[in-house]
Every structure is written in C-alpha cells, then in structure tokens.
Structure 1
Amino acid sequence: MESEQIIAALKEATTVPVEAVREATSRRDEMVPILTGVVARAADTPMAALAGEDGLLFLAVHLLGSWRATSAYRTVADLLAQDAGKIDTLLGDAVTLTIHRVMFNLFDGDPGPLMDLVENPAADCHVRRRMLDTMGMLTAAGRIERSVMSDYLLRLQGNLAGDGDGIVSSGWAELIAQLGFAELRGAVEQSFCAGIVDPQFLSREDFERMLADAQAGDLMVGVGDEFRPFGDIVAELGGWTVRDDWDDEAGEEEIEQEVARIAQTLRLREPALAGWDAPGSSAMAFPGMPSIGVGGQQTVLNPYRYVGRNDPCPCGSGRKFKRCCGQWR
C-alpha cells in the first residue's frame, strides 16, 4: 500500500484496520510526519471542516503513540488544548482511557507542554486531569525528578482555574497520594476544607489509603492497565469503534421510538436489569421513558444501564451509543 492508500484506509475505517496499521508500521519513518501533519491540521481547523476525519485523527494519534514518535509530542499537545466539544468529537473515550498513556510514550523530555495543558482553563477538564496522570507516570518512571514534581504540585494548590466541577483539583490531590508526597498532605487537607477537592471524586479515606500504598512502594497504582504505557494499537483498540457513521439522519422521534422499543424488550425479558431505581422507589422523570408500576409507584427503566459510551448503540444503527440513543438520553 502507498501512503495515500494507507491514509484512505485509516479515514474510512470504523474499527482498527489491521492491514493498514501493519503497512503503516512497516513504513513508520515515512508515516510519522504524514500523521503528525494530520494531527496539526485537526488542531488548526474548525470542527465543521473536519467532517469525516474523526477516525483518521483518532488512529493517527494512537499510531504515533504506539510508535513512541516523540517528534509528535508538541503537535498532539496542541490538539489536546482545543475546546472540550471538539476533543470529544475527535477522540471520544480516548480522552479518559488512553490519551495519558499515549502522551507518556510521546514525551520528549520537556514537561512544559504537559504543564501548559494542566493549567489551561480553556482545555477539557478530563484532558487536564489525565495530563497530571501522564506526569505522575513519568515521575514514577524516573523521567521527571520527584523534587520537580513535588514543587510543581505545591504551586498548583488553589491555582487550577476553570475547574468548576473539581475534576482537575481532585486529580491533583489523587496524584499527590499516588506519588507518596506525604509532605503535601497539609496542602491537600486545606483544599478539602476549602471545598476545592470534591469528596465525590476523592474522599479523605481514599487519599490516605493511596498515600500509604505509595509510601510502601506502590506508586501510580490504577485500575487494570490505567497507568501502563500505550502498547500495540491493534491489541489495545481491537474492540473499539474509531469512527461514527453519524449523518444526523435520525431525528428525535426516531430515537424516542428506539428507546421505547428496547425498554419494552428489556422489561419483558429481565426487568431487574433495566431499572434505574429499586422496585418501589420514586421514578425519575424523563419524558417518553417507559416505566413499570410497583406497589402503586413508577420505576423508570434504563435500557442502557450497561452500555458504554464507545460501544455500538444497542438500537442497531451501527453508530456509537454516545452519537445515537446516548445523545437523546
């Protein structure tokens, strides 16, 4: 395959195109600047002009990460500084599941771009939090000095603008625990008392538990592979949908009909799996959402309780859930 054919295959793919990925990997030196250019264009181009290129961009970022193409580090960082809506459309669940691991691989020795993202009040809050995790991974690996990281985290105390929901600040406190910085415990407690760190994201008990684990030698212990460097793209993303065939053809009425149909099927098959609330509890008011009566009360059915945002929508449209019935919900 020529490079143009590889790009075309990546652009048209809805799942990881194994053959095109293998061809691209065999021509890595040629493809790195091409894919870096794809990322740079996405960062500089309005979302409306990128229609149909979300899959290509998604695969380009992950290929560069799997290849440890450090020359693309700053270009990907520039992309991640874009507004939350654009980032969600282009990268989807990668924002929370893989991008911090990709950036670990791309790191060129300068933490400046990561720091800029963490402190950027206009950047997506989940990106900002995950860049803290990238810095934590680099610190645990000895690629950022602990003293440098400790000083930086102290400087961030109370200075994370644009974090209205407390997601970044909670990540800040968790990272202090994950790296075993007991000397910053007081700064975290002050942030708890000031309401900067939200207990729904991180409790004091969890902070102390993680801090104790880190001091015992277990640094950056996440869930599963959460803090492992990004690996082979086929193995990592084999079950993902990487591009949505979303053409806005499904109107609200059509989506409501699909919601009602799937809810009815689940109600007949296994009501317990479909309920948001326990039998007898008050129903949550969502217009058009089917419900069942228990003891004179209504319990709303949630037919999507076990469907992930990146999963194919169960209505059968072929789109991602978040771009189909998940959008209506």
Structure 2
Amino acid sequence: MTGGSDVIVSTRDETESAPIDAHLAALAGRPFPDAALRACVARFDEARRPLRSLLDRAAAGKALTDPEWLSFFRGLHILAAARDAESFASLLRLLRRSPDEVEDLLGDALDVSVHRLVISLFDGDSDALLALVAEPKAHEIVRSALLDAAIYLTWQRRLDREEMHRFLVAFASRRPAVDEAPVWRSWMQAVALLDFRDLVPMVEKAWKAGRIDRTFQEWSDFGKDLARARTAYDDERRFEHLAVGSIDDVVAELEWTRHWETDDGSNAGEEEAGWEQPTPAVNPFRNVGRNDPCPCGSGKKAKKCCLATG
C-alpha cells in the first residue's frame, strides 16, 4: 500500500494454470483466495467485464446473493489494484446510495479502504468527487474518506489545487454538514496538509464555533501539520495518519478479511472454488449516534467512550 502507481502482479504459475472463470468463481468462496486475487489482477483483461458487472449491479441497488457479494467486495479491490478508471463513476454511484445500503455493501471497508479505492480508481472527474463530499445525504464516513482522498489527489497534482481551494472555501460558507461530522475534521486537515494558509482564519472560526470534533484532533495538531506542509510539502510521510495511497497489492489490502475463512477464524481447508456463507464484519455502533449514550453502559456519550477507542 503506497502512493506509487505500479500495479503488483504475480508471475507464479498459479495465475496462468486455470481458466479465468475458475479464479472468478474462487472469489466467491473460501478459504481466502490468494491465487485468484493475484490471477484476476495479472489477467485483468479477462476478468474486467464480470467484475465491472458486479460493481454496476451493486451501484444500481440490485440484490446480490451472498457469494455474489463476496465476489463484488473482492472484485472492487481488484478493479482498484488494476487502476480501472472506467469503474470510478460506478464507485461514486454506489457511494451515493443510502447510508444503510453503503454499510451493508462495504462494512468495515468504509473505514479501512474507501479512500484508497477512490485514489486508485480516480478518473479525473473532480467535480463528481467533490460534489459527493458536499452531499448532506451521503454516509458521513464516505464524505470524510472522499475528502481525505481528494487531499491526497491534490498533493499528487491529479486534482487541481485551485479547484480544491475553492471547494474548501465554499464548504465552510455553505456548511453542508452538521457540527462535529467527520468531514469537518478532514476539511481542517485539507487546509493544513495542502498549506492553504490564507484559510487558517476560516479554520480557527470553525474550531471556536464547535464544528470540528475535538475527540481526535487538537488545535496544536493543526499547527504542526501546517508547519510541516510549509517546510516539507513533498514529503509523503505527512499523510501517514490518513492511511491514504493507492491499492497496489490486492492480497495485502484484503489481508484484514482473511478471518472470514471460517467462523472461528481458522482455515478449514475448503477448496477455493467452494463456498460457505462468509461472516461479514459487524459494526456494534451502526445504530448508535455519536452523541447517544455509549452502549457499554459507562454513562458517557459514545463519541467520548468506545467510539473514541475503537
């Protein structure tokens, strides 16, 4: 997982020894399909059409069976590793769906990889990307992840710096997000990481007004980020806390899902093309608002308790 543009592919015999249909079928099964993932990237010309089809169906709100969902989820990451820019519009359509639908389709990937999916698939349509950041009805984590991606794309010079500046000004003026929404923190970080010093008074005003959640951010952090941007703008390490970059190795990117192999997290030794219902990640806070009482019983607000500690 880096900011580079090289796609990691495998030259191992396993990527060539089976028909592509066998590898595509393995995406829907268990155990974790290392070989199939690598093969679909290495032989993307053959895998492209069915993987795009699954993404298009999900983006259109079509029902997916459990095996289809697993193929879609893994396939989306394959599309990203292959830099399939033609899938970018479909990804944005998916992310525009209702928050519940987006959570059902992406689960923990909302926090883990959406920003990197966007960076990897970005086709240059900055208007569509930033419009979704500003969409009040979109999932709040999606909006924040997209703005994090836009920050990185701007730093890479793949998104126009002046356009980003205008967007940040308009966002503060129109306020298309409730106070303490995650996207406000990303907005603040955009100003610092991209060294938009003329917008610092605007950030200070928003900070004092309580628009930015202080659970994960101190004012001093903003100052440090701004200082580093001025002295080391080209240093990619400044973005490490955002975990942004491109998806280069699809197996490494999906390593966190390997425990889906069996209910107890062990490898039961099924054939890759076989299938048993995967155990999707469950978010215990899905229906808990940040200002609601924490379900752990502490009496604190969720945002000050378990949501803050993960």
Instruction: Give TM-score, length-normalised by structure 1.
Output: 0.70
RCO comparison, higher one (Cα < 8 Å, 6+): 2
Give the C-alpha shift of residue 150 in structure 1: 1.1
RMSD of aligned residue pairs (Cα, Å)? 3.1
Cα gap change, 1:323 to 1:178, in 2 (>3 Å): closer
Query: In structure 1, what is the Cα distance between the partners aligned to 2:195 and 2:65?
Result: 43
For 1:131-280, list aligned pairs within 5 A: 131-163=146-178, 165-218=180-233, 221-223=238-240, 226-241=243-258
Deviation at 1:50, TM superposition (A): 4.4
Counterpart-to-counterpart distance in 2, 1:24 and 1:44: 24
Q: What residue number does 1:37 align with?
A: 53
Structure-1 separation of matches of 2:21 and 2:88: 23
Letter in 2 for 1:322: V
Aligned residue in 1 for 2:11: none
**Between the two proteins, what is the percent identity of the paired residues?**
27
Amino acid at match of 1:154: V
Is residue 8 from structure 1 mapped to residue 11 from structure 2 by the alignment?
Answer: no
Q: Which of 88, 98, 112 lines up with 2:113 in the alignment?
A: 98
Q: Measure the CA separation in 1 of the matches of 2:35 and 2:226.
A: 45
Q: Is the CA contact 1:55–1:243 (under 8 Å) kept in the aligned structure 2?
A: no
Q: How does 1:294-313 map to 2 (within 5 A)?
A: none
**Structure 2 CA distance, aligned partners of 1:116 and 1:37?**
25
**Structure 2: where are the runs of 5+ without partners?**
1-17, 267-277, 288-294, 297-310
- Mapped to 1, the partners of 2:26 and 2:206 lie a distance apart of 49
222-231 or 86-95: bigger deviation? 222-231
C-alpha separation between the residues in 1 aligned to 2:159 and 2:99?
Answer: 28
Measured after TM superposition, the shift of residue 36 of structure 1 is: 1.3
Tell me the equivalent position of 1:59: 74
Letter in 1 for 2:73: F
- The CA deviation string for residues 183-225 of structure 1, in whole angstroms up to 9 with x for no partner, is 1101111111222122224221111111111111246623368
Cα deviation, residue 12, structure 1: 1.9
TM-score by length of 2: 0.74
Residues 244 and 174 (structure 1), Cα distance of their counterparts in 2 relative to 1, 3 Å cut: farther
Question: Is structure 2 residue 40 aligned with structure 1 residue 24?
Answer: yes
Structure 1: stretches of 5+ with no match in the other structure: 247-310
Q: Greater CA deviation, 200-209 or 60-69?
A: 200-209
Stretches (4+) displaced over 6 A: 326-329
CA-to-aligned-CA distance 1:133-155 (integer Å, 9 cap, x gap): 11111111111222221111111
CA contact (8 A) 1:158 1:191 kept: no
Q: Is the 8 A contact 1:42 1:50 kept in 2?
A: no
Q: How many residues align?
A: 260
* Contact map agreement 1:81 1:117 (CA 8 A) in 2: yes
1:322 aligns to what SS in structure 2? coil
Q: Which protein has the larger Cα radius of gyration, Structure 1 or Structure 2?
A: 1
Is 1:84 matched up with 2:99? yes
